[in-house]
Structure 1
Amino acid sequence: MLKKKITKILVGTNNPGKLKEIKDLLPKNLKIYSTSDFKIKSPLENGKTFEENSLIKARYFSKKSKLICLSDDSGLEVNALDGNPGIYSARWGGKKGDFTKAMRRVFKELDRKNKNWKNKKIKARFICALTIYGSGQKTISSVGIIEGHISPYMKGKNGFGYDPIFIPKGKKITFGEMKPSEKYKIDHRYKAFKKIKKFF
């Protein structure tokens, strides 16, 4: 258990979209730092799962900043692509993390599997693993998952990453078309955060 409630935290990500989403989930009275405050570059993520990569980041950023760190590792798994891009979700965007390129790659790989995929419901899910790590504290982790399917076209300008091609279960529109306030109430990051909210 954590020794006491967390009052200040470093959000361990260099992704501005993730930083904004996590900040919006955290309590307003918390002192929040970002990796850019410390000019810390991201570590090498060589874990085999979202949980392992989330811990690698949390531990690394915490040690560099001497603060308790909340880190996220998340990505998209597409059933028809054997669970890819999965933990390589960001890497599919190339060195510059270009998610338009990453989404086009998803379409290209689906085309390769089945030219007719746009007429089918291609099952997919977003997964988020969160880790709270601080020196001398018990490490806390949680996972959130939201099921859905792949949109045959990119739609919407909201969100980030693969949001424009992911339609959550029970909805008709992509995360990219949703208002952030609507997305935050149902997405994988929110589900993972709900499990660790009590520590703040």
Structure 2
Amino acid sequence: MPKKKIEKIVIGSNNKGKIKEIRDLIPKKYRIFTPSQFKLKSPVENGKSFKENSLIKAKKFSLKTNMVCIADDSGLEIDLLNKKPGIYSARWGGPKGDFNLAIKKVFKALDKKKKNWKEKKISARFICALTIFGLKKKPIFSVGKIEGYISNEQRGLKGFGYDPIFIPKGKRKTFGEMDPKKKYKIDHRYKAFKKIRKFL
């Protein structure tokens, strides 16, 4: 079956940080659009997994724009917090998606669980589920993960979301301190994209 020729892709997100990172991953031959250009709001993410939520977004934005859509759902799992915030990572930031607030909530939850957590290595991981919708008859899925630890303080102003408190395994800097180009080559989103870029 010949490959469907596409020239335009919509990134299924209204999160500026995600849009920038996904845009940098997609081959330059495509014209890239975002939901805000069509005045489209993000759908209610009521899935029970990262995969389900990424499909909800990819399907909605693909059908609304009549374009191929690539959408991501990602979040931070902290083992000491029973893998929370997980799929609710963005919601911990409240209605305005304030990640300073979300990070404060993480630290507060860790304090409740273990008073001396700052002296321990608190294992965590970032997970990203990507979905391409509208390219083939069935959606294309992939998942990427990166293991690491929680920093005992916010460090760095680069990146977005929980980046200032996540230290990838084998590194000393948080994602928030890393050069974005270096971060892009090792993070969960890149790992997920690597598995599906052959379709683009």
TM-score by length of 2: 0.97
Stretches of structure 1 lacking an aligned partner (at least 5 in a row) = none
Secondary structure of 2:190's counterpart equals helix
CA shift for structure 1 position 137: 2.9
Identity %: 67
Secondary structure of 2:132's counterpart equals strand
Secondary structure of 1:60's counterpart equals helix
Stretches of structure 2 lacking an aligned partner (at least 5 in a row) = none
Greater alpha carbon shift after TM alignment, 10-19 vs 26-35: 26-35
1:16 maps to what in 2? 16
Structure showing greater relative contact order (alpha-carbon pairs closer than 8 Å, 6 or more residues apart): 1
1:124 and 2:112 equivalent?
no
CA shift for structure 1 position 136: 6.2
1:60 and 2:60 equivalent?
yes
1:43 and 2:43 equivalent?
yes
TM-score by length of 1: 0.97
Q: Deviations over 1:80-123 (max 9, x none)?
A: 00000000000000000000000110000000001100000000
Secondary structure of 1:101's counterpart equals helix
Paired amino acid for 2:144: G
Paired amino acid for 2:86: G
Greater alpha carbon shift after TM alignment, 131-140 vs 73-82: 131-140
Runs of 4+ aligned residues of structure 1 deviating over 6 Å after TM superposition are none
Alpha-carbon distance in 1 for matches of 2:123, 2:136: 41
- RMSD value over aligned CA atoms? 1.3
1:77 maps to what in 2? 77
* Contact 2:4 2:135 (8 Å CA) reproduced: no
Paired amino acid for 1:22: I
* Contact 2:45 2:53 (8 Å CA) reproduced: yes
Equivalent pairs counted in the alignment come to: 200
CA shift for structure 1 position 2: 8.1
Counting only pairs closer than 5 Å after superposition, residues 148-163 of structure 1 correspond to structure 2 as 148-163=148-163
